[in-house]
Chain A
Amino acid sequence: MNTGPLAVVNAMPPVTRRVRAYFAPVDRVNRVPTVFDPAVNGGFDLDSPPAPWIDLGWIEDFSRKSLSKISGLATGSPAVTEFQVKQTVDASVSFRFKTWSKLSMALAAGSQHMNLLAPASGAAANGSGAKAAAATGLAASGSTATLLVMSSTAGFAPGCIVAVDGDYAGQTGFVGSGVSAAYVQSAAAVGSDPDYIRRVTFNVARVSTVTATELQLAQPLPAGVPANTMRVQPMVGFVDREGGSFFQEWSALFLMPGEQGERILFHYPRLQAIAGAAEAAITLNAPIERIALSAAFRALPVTDANDGEQAVCFRSFLPSAMTLV
């Protein structure tokens, strides 16, 4: 066994070509974000982030800014700055999602994000979707995150998208399984609509095959194994709007993989949108354009358990092997 000194290399500037984004839900009821510990999970497989982080893929035009203000404390005559004080702690981050999905669109929406439930016959037109066709219940047992055992599969076809969540029953506060998708101020505000939670839920998936009693899903439900009290509705897509008073809140992790194996990680425990829905058009070959989702967030504070200080962002650096530090 060789116990001699290992060959080391001088420190090099990190070289990277892209940024990858991961998001995780914040427990809005208890105000608990998802904390990423780089000492524990910093070297995770990029394609398999630790639970409950969700891979949102490579992003573009990543930009983060410190908006913290530092001012001087001058004393004496003539006044001389003797100390510095942190006047405010603030930060923002912005980027573009390359692909559109329930989660990326919701994150970029700036407000509440809704599902376009398949409409009931003859329902009145509405900008965020008409009243929905009746939901179908789950069987008492047997469902998993990727298989829904149904009381009936009438109205479902292979390739359809489904929303899976409980009936709205008059509760107020945050609603939605797995992710707090909306805040209900009163039953009257949502018309006591039993489908309201399914209209906003993040618990959606694409159906791959349909049998007489089962829906096989092409992707796992974000909230995991559904409760048998949940019901299922087909949906056609998603909708957000310029307006609304709800702020989504997410924990975020951005990772820059270096060409020498090093990693730069930016962890924002609490992000809320600071801009409404917007898109950016990237020309492929005029007039053909790729449409990206623009997203901009303000970082909100958490308390660092190591010293009780408040912080809005954590930047970590994991050096490449055998570089001098």
Chain B
Amino acid sequence: MQNAKDTFYITLRNRLASVSPDRTMTLRGVVRPGILVEEAEAPAAQLPLDVFVLRWTKLGTDGQMPSTLVAMTCEIHYATSGTRDNMGLDRGRALEAMDDELLRMLSPASVAKMNYTQNPATQMGTSIFWSQPVFTAEATTRERVGRVATVEVFTFQEQGEL
């Protein structure tokens, strides 16, 4: 399952670098595309602005097949307060831009599964695929507007895979 989670994250990260090269963040001194996995970073009281945050939640399995089918729910949280140049009055437009970026990052909705625990990473025998995103209503908290897109990611467990 970790291979599928890694593949999903790195696929979205690489696609984000393509569809919106200016959306970057500096994390632990490194400038990188503005997307992170919450469970792989230090705990934070509040999610960062203008960054996509992946949060893995539910897990389901169907073990009645030669290869177990795993379904993992990924919540993609994102929020913005607009730009300083516009005193935050463009926060609606900024959120819409993130909506659009996310839709483009999620398409196409399948990719070959990779094993990133090896260097260089190796392609595995199956592909992961995911559902269409389900978007929550826009939520406003003081100067922040944001929403959550939920995607269900599917993977077949390969022989010997953790």
Interface residues in chain A, defined as those with a beta carbon under 8 Å from any beta carbon in chain B = 18, 57-58, 60, 98-99, 284-288, 290
Closest to A57 in B: B66
Q: How far is the CA of A290 from the CA of B154 in the complex (A)?
A: 11
8 Å CB contact of B64 from A60, A284, A285, A286: A60
* A285→B65 contact, CB < 8 A: no
Tell me which of A57, A60, A284, A286 has the highest count of chain B C-beta atoms within 10 A of its own C-beta. Answer: A284
* B154→A284 contact, CB < 8 A: yes
Q: How far is the CA of A179 from the CA of B22 in the complex (A)?
A: 62
Contact mask for chain B residues 60-83; partner A; CB cutoff 8 A; 1 contact, 0 none: 000011100101000000000000
A-B contact number at CB 8 A: 25
Q: Which 5 residue pairs are nearest across A and B when measured between Cβ atoms?
A: A285-B131, A58-B64, A285-B152, A98-B65, A18-B64
Q: How far is the CA of A58 from the CA of B131 in the complex (A)?
A: 26
* Consensus secondary structure, chain A interface: strand
| Chain A residues within an 8 Å CB radius of B65 | 57-58, 98-99
B52 at the interface (CB under 8 A from A): no
Q: Are A99 and B152 CB-contacts (below 8 A) given A284-B71, A288-B129, A288-B131?
A: no
Known: A284-B69, A285-B154. 14 other contacts (CB 8 A): A18-B64, A57-B65, A58-B64, A58-B65, A98-B64, A98-B65, A99-B65, A99-B66, A284-B152, A284-B154, A285-B71, A285-B131, A286-B131, A288-B129
CB distance from B68 to the nearest CB of A (A): 11
Closest to B134 in A: A285
Q: How far is the CA of A285 from the CA of B129 in the complex (A)?
A: 11
Closest to A282 in B: B62
Q: How far is the CA of A288 from the CA of B151 in the complex (A)?
A: 12
CB distance from B153 to the nearest CB of A (A): 10
| Chain A residues within an 8 Å CB radius of B64 | 18, 58, 60, 98
8 Å CB contact of B154 from A18, A98, A287, A288: A288
CB distance from B28 to the nearest CB of A (A): 35
Q: How far is the CA of A60 from the CA of B65 in the complex (A)?
A: 10
CB distance from B124 to the nearest CB of A (A): 14
| Chain A residues within an 8 Å CB radius of B132 | 287
